[in-house]
Amino acid sequence: MTENSKKSRDQAESFFSKTQTQSMALNRIISEHDAVSQAREAKTARLRELRLEKEAEELAAASKRKGKR
């Protein structure tokens, strides 16, 4: 009877350990994905800001040229 109990316990511990490892791996993957997403969003926002600045400068330069004519 004790051998069955020990075997069941070992199997349960093995299953728990495997599940815990999978959970930790999944959490790591999710964290990495979140970090990549945040970096992409920050880069997109920076590029948008630079594009808008450039467009505003070009518009101002075009207005200035039209004013001279």
> Total structural domains in the chain?
1
pLDDT, residue 59, reads 94
Task: Sort 41 into a burial class: Cβ within 10 Å, 0-12 / 13-18 / 19+.
Answer: exposed
Q: Residue 2 — pLDDT band, cuts 50, 70, 90?
A: confident
Reported as a single tens digit per residue, the pLDDT across 15-37 is 999 999 999 999 999 999 999 99
pLDDT, residue 43, reads 98
Q: Please give the residue range of the domain that contains residue 24.
A: 1-69
Retrieve residue 4's tokens: 């069955």
pLDDT tops 90 at residue 65: no
